[in-house]
Amino acid sequence: MTALSVNINKVAVLRNSRGGVEPDVIKAARTCISAGAAGITVHPRPDQRHIRPDDVRALSTLCVDGTEFNIEGNVFAPPRDGYPGLLALVDEALPAQCTLVPDTDGQLTSDHGFDLRADFKRLRPLVAKIKSVGCRVSLFVDADCHDLELAADIGADRVEIYTGPYAHAYARGDYAQELAACLDTAERAQGVGLGVNAGHDLNQANLGAFKSAIPFLAEVSIGHALVGEALYAGLTATVQAYLKILGR
Protein backbone atom coordinates (compact mmCIF):
# COMPACT_ATOMS: atom_id res chain seq x y z
CA MET A 1 0.00 0.00 0.00
CA THR A 2 1.20 3.51 -0.80
CA ALA A 3 0.97 5.88 2.16
CA LEU A 4 -0.29 9.44 1.77
CA SER A 5 1.60 12.06 3.76
CA VAL A 6 -0.06 15.46 3.60
CA ASN A 7 2.28 18.46 3.45
CA ILE A 8 0.63 21.29 5.41
CA ASN A 9 3.09 24.06 4.54
CA LYS A 10 0.46 25.94 2.54
CA VAL A 11 -1.84 26.08 5.57
CA ALA A 12 0.98 27.87 7.39
CA VAL A 13 1.45 30.23 4.43
CA LEU A 14 -2.17 31.35 4.77
CA ARG A 15 -1.79 31.80 8.51
CA ASN A 16 1.43 33.78 8.21
CA SER A 17 0.04 36.07 5.51
CA ARG A 18 -2.40 37.53 8.03
CA GLY A 19 -0.70 36.88 11.33
CA GLY A 20 -2.34 35.23 14.29
CA VAL A 21 -3.19 31.54 14.43
CA GLU A 22 -5.78 31.00 11.68
CA PRO A 23 -5.92 28.75 9.81
CA ASP A 24 -4.63 26.44 12.52
CA VAL A 25 -1.96 24.04 11.22
CA ILE A 26 -2.58 21.63 14.11
CA LYS A 27 -6.30 21.47 13.37
CA ALA A 28 -5.53 20.98 9.67
CA ALA A 29 -3.14 18.13 10.47
CA ARG A 30 -5.66 16.54 12.81
CA THR A 31 -8.32 16.74 10.11
CA CYS A 32 -6.04 15.04 7.58
CA ILE A 33 -5.22 12.27 10.05
CA SER A 34 -8.90 11.74 10.89
CA ALA A 35 -9.64 11.51 7.16
CA GLY A 36 -7.15 8.65 6.84
CA ALA A 37 -3.81 10.23 5.93
CA ALA A 38 -0.93 8.02 7.03
CA GLY A 39 1.35 10.94 7.78
CA ILE A 40 1.98 14.67 7.97
CA THR A 41 4.86 16.36 6.17
CA VAL A 42 6.38 19.75 6.93
CA HIS A 43 9.29 21.60 5.37
CA PRO A 44 10.55 24.26 7.79
CA ARG A 45 12.82 26.75 6.09
CA PRO A 46 15.30 29.12 7.74
CA ASP A 47 13.27 32.20 6.73
CA GLN A 48 10.19 30.74 8.49
CA ARG A 49 7.91 31.81 5.65
CA HIS A 50 5.51 28.96 6.38
CA ILE A 51 6.07 26.15 8.90
CA ARG A 52 7.96 27.40 11.96
CA PRO A 53 10.02 25.51 14.53
CA ASP A 54 7.21 25.82 17.10
CA ASP A 55 4.85 24.18 14.60
CA VAL A 56 7.28 21.30 14.24
CA ARG A 57 7.39 20.82 18.00
CA ALA A 58 3.61 20.93 18.33
CA LEU A 59 3.04 18.55 15.43
CA SER A 60 5.46 16.04 16.89
CA THR A 61 3.07 15.50 19.79
CA LEU A 62 0.14 15.04 17.41
CA CYS A 63 1.75 12.47 15.15
CA VAL A 64 1.53 9.42 17.39
CA ASP A 65 -0.26 6.06 17.38
CA GLY A 66 0.98 5.09 13.93
CA THR A 67 0.78 8.48 12.22
CA GLU A 68 4.14 9.25 10.62
CA PHE A 69 5.73 12.66 10.94
CA ASN A 70 8.03 13.60 8.06
CA ILE A 71 10.30 16.63 8.33
CA GLU A 72 11.86 17.86 5.09
CA GLY A 73 14.71 20.29 4.89
CA ASN A 74 18.18 21.35 3.87
CA VAL A 75 20.58 19.73 6.32
CA PHE A 76 23.37 22.04 5.14
CA ALA A 77 21.56 25.26 6.13
CA PRO A 78 23.13 26.68 9.31
CA PRO A 79 21.12 27.71 12.38
CA ARG A 80 20.10 31.35 12.74
CA ASP A 81 17.78 33.50 14.83
CA GLY A 82 14.54 31.60 15.33
CA TYR A 83 15.68 28.59 13.33
CA PRO A 84 17.80 26.02 15.20
CA GLY A 85 18.74 24.01 12.11
CA LEU A 86 17.32 20.78 10.73
CA LEU A 87 19.40 18.46 12.91
CA ALA A 88 18.25 20.23 16.07
CA LEU A 89 14.61 20.02 14.99
CA VAL A 90 14.97 16.31 14.29
CA ASP A 91 16.56 15.79 17.71
CA GLU A 92 13.62 17.57 19.35
CA ALA A 93 10.72 16.23 17.31
CA LEU A 94 11.99 12.68 16.64
CA PRO A 95 10.04 12.27 13.39
CA ALA A 96 9.50 8.90 11.76
CA GLN A 97 11.23 10.20 8.63
CA CYS A 98 13.53 13.03 7.64
CA THR A 99 13.65 13.88 3.95
CA LEU A 100 16.79 15.75 2.95
CA VAL A 101 16.52 18.22 0.07
CA PRO A 102 19.22 20.42 -1.51
CA ASP A 103 17.28 23.70 -1.30
CA THR A 104 19.05 27.02 -1.08
CA ASP A 105 17.77 29.66 1.34
CA GLY A 106 16.06 31.79 -1.27
CA GLN A 107 14.56 28.96 -3.26
CA LEU A 108 10.79 29.25 -3.70
CA THR A 109 10.22 25.51 -3.70
CA SER A 110 12.17 22.28 -4.15
CA ASP A 111 13.03 21.92 -7.83
CA HIS A 112 15.97 19.49 -8.09
CA GLY A 113 17.50 16.50 -6.39
CA PHE A 114 20.92 15.96 -4.87
CA ASP A 115 24.10 15.60 -6.84
CA LEU A 116 25.05 12.50 -4.85
CA ARG A 117 28.63 12.38 -6.11
CA ALA A 118 29.29 15.98 -5.11
CA ASP A 119 27.50 15.75 -1.76
CA PHE A 120 28.45 12.22 -0.72
CA LYS A 121 31.11 13.15 1.85
CA ARG A 122 29.00 15.86 3.46
CA LEU A 123 25.82 13.82 3.55
CA ARG A 124 27.12 10.55 4.96
CA PRO A 125 27.93 11.69 8.54
CA LEU A 126 24.79 13.81 8.71
CA VAL A 127 22.59 10.91 7.62
CA ALA A 128 24.25 8.74 10.28
CA LYS A 129 23.50 11.38 12.91
CA ILE A 130 19.84 11.56 11.94
CA LYS A 131 19.50 7.78 11.92
CA SER A 132 21.09 7.57 15.36
CA VAL A 133 17.87 8.94 16.89
CA GLY A 134 15.79 6.25 15.17
CA CYS A 135 14.68 8.34 12.20
CA ARG A 136 14.33 6.95 8.68
CA VAL A 137 16.17 9.05 6.07
CA SER A 138 15.03 9.75 2.53
CA LEU A 139 17.05 11.68 -0.07
CA PHE A 140 15.40 13.88 -2.70
CA VAL A 141 16.58 12.79 -6.17
CA ASP A 142 15.82 13.60 -9.78
CA ALA A 143 14.10 11.07 -12.00
CA ASP A 144 17.24 10.73 -14.09
CA CYS A 145 19.53 10.10 -11.11
CA HIS A 146 22.16 7.52 -12.07
CA ASP A 147 23.97 7.27 -8.73
CA LEU A 148 21.39 5.50 -6.63
CA GLU A 149 23.95 3.07 -5.24
CA LEU A 150 25.58 6.13 -3.65
CA ALA A 151 22.32 6.94 -1.85
CA ALA A 152 22.47 3.47 -0.32
CA ASP A 153 26.16 3.92 0.53
CA ILE A 154 25.38 7.25 2.20
CA GLY A 155 23.06 5.34 4.50
CA ALA A 156 19.67 6.48 3.22
CA ASP A 157 16.69 4.19 3.67
CA ARG A 158 14.65 5.67 0.83
CA VAL A 159 14.76 8.16 -1.99
CA GLU A 160 12.02 10.60 -2.89
CA ILE A 161 11.68 11.07 -6.62
CA TYR A 162 11.16 14.69 -7.67
CA THR A 163 7.99 14.47 -9.76
CA GLY A 164 7.76 18.08 -10.96
CA PRO A 165 8.84 17.33 -14.55
CA TYR A 166 6.39 14.40 -14.72
CA ALA A 167 3.52 16.58 -13.47
CA HIS A 168 4.30 19.35 -15.94
CA ALA A 169 4.50 16.84 -18.80
CA TYR A 170 1.21 15.28 -17.71
CA ALA A 171 -0.46 18.69 -17.88
CA ARG A 172 0.83 19.04 -21.45
CA GLY A 173 -0.55 15.62 -22.36
CA ASP A 174 2.86 14.14 -23.24
CA TYR A 175 4.15 12.44 -20.11
CA ALA A 176 5.23 8.96 -21.23
CA GLN A 177 8.94 9.79 -21.28
CA GLU A 178 8.94 11.47 -17.86
CA LEU A 179 6.93 8.64 -16.34
CA ALA A 180 9.33 6.09 -17.79
CA ALA A 181 12.24 7.99 -16.22
CA CYS A 182 10.51 7.92 -12.83
CA LEU A 183 9.83 4.19 -13.18
CA ASP A 184 13.43 3.48 -14.16
CA THR A 185 14.72 5.41 -11.15
CA ALA A 186 12.25 3.66 -8.84
CA GLU A 187 13.25 0.21 -10.10
CA ARG A 188 16.96 0.96 -9.77
CA ALA A 189 16.43 2.32 -6.27
CA GLN A 190 14.52 -0.81 -5.31
CA GLY A 191 17.34 -2.85 -6.81
CA VAL A 192 19.89 -1.41 -4.38
CA GLY A 193 17.60 -1.89 -1.39
CA LEU A 194 16.04 1.56 -1.14
CA GLY A 195 12.38 2.31 -0.54
CA VAL A 196 10.76 4.71 -3.00
CA ASN A 197 8.81 7.85 -2.14
CA ALA A 198 7.64 10.54 -4.55
CA GLY A 199 6.49 14.11 -4.39
CA HIS A 200 6.09 17.55 -5.94
CA ASP A 201 3.18 18.75 -8.07
CA LEU A 202 1.33 15.46 -7.79
CA ASN A 203 -2.44 15.95 -7.85
CA GLN A 204 -5.66 14.03 -8.33
CA ALA A 205 -5.34 14.19 -12.11
CA ASN A 206 -1.81 12.77 -12.44
CA LEU A 207 -1.44 10.56 -9.38
CA GLY A 208 -3.35 7.56 -10.73
CA ALA A 209 -1.05 7.03 -13.72
CA PHE A 210 2.00 7.45 -11.52
CA LYS A 211 0.82 4.96 -8.94
CA SER A 212 -0.16 2.44 -11.63
CA ALA A 213 3.31 2.64 -13.16
CA ILE A 214 5.06 2.24 -9.78
CA PRO A 215 2.86 -0.08 -7.71
CA PHE A 216 5.60 -0.60 -5.09
CA LEU A 217 5.64 3.13 -4.25
CA ALA A 218 6.00 3.45 -0.46
CA GLU A 219 4.76 7.01 0.04
CA VAL A 220 3.64 10.15 -1.74
CA SER A 221 3.94 13.55 -0.10
CA ILE A 222 1.35 16.00 -1.44
CA GLY A 223 0.67 19.50 -0.22
CA HIS A 224 0.27 22.38 -2.67
CA ALA A 225 -2.30 20.71 -4.93
CA LEU A 226 -4.14 19.00 -2.09
CA VAL A 227 -4.60 22.20 -0.09
CA GLY A 228 -5.65 24.05 -3.25
CA GLU A 229 -8.23 21.39 -4.12
CA ALA A 230 -9.47 21.42 -0.53
CA LEU A 231 -10.50 25.07 -0.92
CA TYR A 232 -13.30 23.80 -3.16
CA ALA A 233 -14.11 20.35 -1.83
CA GLY A 234 -13.05 20.52 1.82
CA LEU A 235 -10.01 18.99 3.47
CA THR A 236 -11.56 15.71 4.59
CA ALA A 237 -13.15 14.98 1.19
CA THR A 238 -9.92 15.86 -0.64
CA VAL A 239 -7.74 13.60 1.52
CA GLN A 240 -10.23 10.77 1.02
CA ALA A 241 -10.21 11.33 -2.75
CA TYR A 242 -6.44 10.88 -2.78
CA LEU A 243 -6.70 7.74 -0.68
CA LYS A 244 -9.18 6.32 -3.17
CA ILE A 245 -6.71 6.92 -6.00
CA LEU A 246 -4.00 5.17 -4.01
CA GLY A 247 -6.29 2.24 -3.36
CA ARG A 248 -6.30 2.64 0.40
Q: Which active-site residues does the annotation give? A: 43, 72, 200
What are the b/e assignments for 9-41, b being 16+ CB within 10 Å? bbbbeebeeeeeeebebbebbebbbebebbbbb
CA distance 139 to 225: 22
- CA 121 vs. chain centroid, Å, equals 23
CA distance 26 to 33: 11
CA distance 40 to 33: 8
In 3-state terms the chain splits into helix, strand, coil percentages (rounded to 5) of 45, 15, 35
